[in-house]
């Protein structure tokens, strides 16, 4: 029987592309953000369905699969409520998206389910409720913490990966890398560009401009350093307070021979984390972040029909994406499980 994947909260297709690279058929990706359509469809041979999952029915999802498919439902519900900066469940309604995902599982009854999210999700009742609902439906549920460096993702990134199967427990494949990929290995050969510059040969290799004071700040920051290396006159008022010492990584530079930090939607801004280039006086470019997210260099993000490139929009798309490499690891784990049960 053919295996078919539907990707909920698909964004520009990081998870989908992982399955695509592992030769799964992906029928569709679903996301509320219409700006993701071009990149998703241009790279994945799959349909982009713009829709708010809170307003969709199980029938809407079920019809994306063919009748005789082994159905695989995957997704990464937005995780803002479980941020490290949140000490308790957020009143934001977005955490309910995981319950909508569970509703779709109830209604569609896919043979395989997988979600990817932040590890802190396991501490919350919504996760425990999700697992119980799947188990009551007859699913064998397993979940793991996948350390990105162990799987060739050049970031200090650990993610929760959950599997549920009607056949038996799915296991995450063993680590594929004994040594972390570094910043140098990932972006070291790219052409140098200045702050605010664009590479003539690669439109995605562009960086945000810096004010004069921020240029002085980054020039005062060594590789691996941060605002704590500056003279006092360069420091912000918040850094001079005792509480400011807790944010040691902001305005930081990466280190060439270490993995990158976790990519966020704010990586284009120097003051939003350790997103300074190791030796060029700027924050990392869109291209560099896409490579840290393990998108292949041929992945298209810029719609040629648009006359203006929105760095903010593309940065959000890249930062929100599941790293492609993690998508491949999840897909391989499911492929091995299906082979073990001889159902494909």
Catalytic residues: 79
Alpha carbon distance 77, 153 (integer Å):
21
Q: Which token pair is 181?
A: 């990929």
Beta strands in 178-257 (DSSP E): 198-199, 202-206
Question: Residue 212 and residue 139: Cα distance in Å, rounded?
Answer: 57
Q: Is 45 left (phi over 0), alpha (psi -120 to 50) or beta?
A: left
Q: How many Cβ atoms from other residues are within 10 Å of residue 340's Cβ?
A: 12
Whether the CB-CB separation of 32 and 50 falls below 8 Å is answered with: yes
Residues 243, 245, 250: CA angle, nearest 5 degrees: 115
Q: Looking at residue 118, what DSSP letter applies? A: -
Token pair listed for 217 = 């700040």
DSSP H or E stretch at residue 283: none
12-25 burial, b at 16+ Cβ within 10 Å, e below that, comes to bbbbbbbbbbbebe
**Torsions phi, psi of 78, nearest 5?**
-50, 140
Q: From CA 344, how far away is CA 339, in angstroms rounded?
A: 6
Give Cα separations from 201 to 190, 198, 206, 306, 313 (angstroms): 11, 9, 11, 18, 21
Q: Residue 198 to residues 39, 194, 201, 205, 287: CA-CA distances in angstroms?
A: 20, 8, 9, 6, 10
For residues 131 and 119, the answer to whether their CB atoms sit within 8 Å is: no
């Amino acid at each position: 029987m053919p295996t078919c994947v539907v990707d909920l909260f698909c964004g520009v297709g990081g998870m989908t592309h992982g399955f695509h690279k592992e030769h799964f058929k992906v029928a569709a990706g679903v996301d509320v953000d219409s700006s993701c359509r071009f990149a998703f469809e241009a790279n994945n041979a799959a349909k982009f369905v713009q829709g708010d999952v809170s307003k969709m029915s199980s029938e809407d999802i079920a019809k994306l699969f063919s009748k005789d498919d082994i159905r695989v439902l995957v997704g990464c519900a937005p995780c803002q409520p479980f941020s490290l900066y949140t000490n308790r469940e957020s009143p934001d309604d977005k955490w309910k998206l995981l319950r909508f995902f569970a509703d779709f599982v109830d209604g569609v009854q896919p043979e395989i389910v997988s979600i990817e999210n932040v590890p802190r999700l396991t501490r919350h009742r919504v996760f425990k409720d999700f697992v119980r609902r799947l188990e009551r439906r007859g699913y064998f549920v397993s979940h793991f913490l996948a350390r990105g460096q162990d799987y060739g993702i050049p970031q200090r990134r650990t993610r929760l990966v959950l599997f549920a199967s009607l056949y038996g427990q799915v296991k995450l494949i063993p680590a594929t890398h004994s040594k972390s990929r570094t910043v140098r290995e990932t972006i070291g050969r790219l052409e140098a560009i200045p702050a605010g510059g664009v590479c003539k040969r690669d439109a995605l290799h562009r960086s945000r401009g810096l004010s004069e004071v921020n240029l002085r700040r980054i020039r005062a920051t060594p590789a691996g350093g941060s605002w704590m290396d500056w003279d006092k006159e360069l420091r912000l008022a918040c850094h001079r307070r005792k509480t400011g010492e807790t944010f040691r990584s902001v305005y930081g530079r990466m280190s060439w021979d270490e993995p990158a930090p976790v990519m966020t939607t704010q990586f284009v801004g120097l003051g939003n984390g350790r997103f300074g280039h190791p030796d060029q006086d700027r924050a990392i470019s869109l291209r560099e972040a896409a490579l840290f997210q393990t998108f292949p260099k041929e992945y298209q993000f810029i719609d040629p029909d648009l006359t203006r490139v929105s760095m903010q929009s593309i940065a959000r798309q890249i930062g929100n994406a599941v790293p492609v490499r993690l998508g491949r690891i999840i897909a391989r784990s499911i492929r091995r499980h299906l082979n073990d049960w001889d159902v494909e």
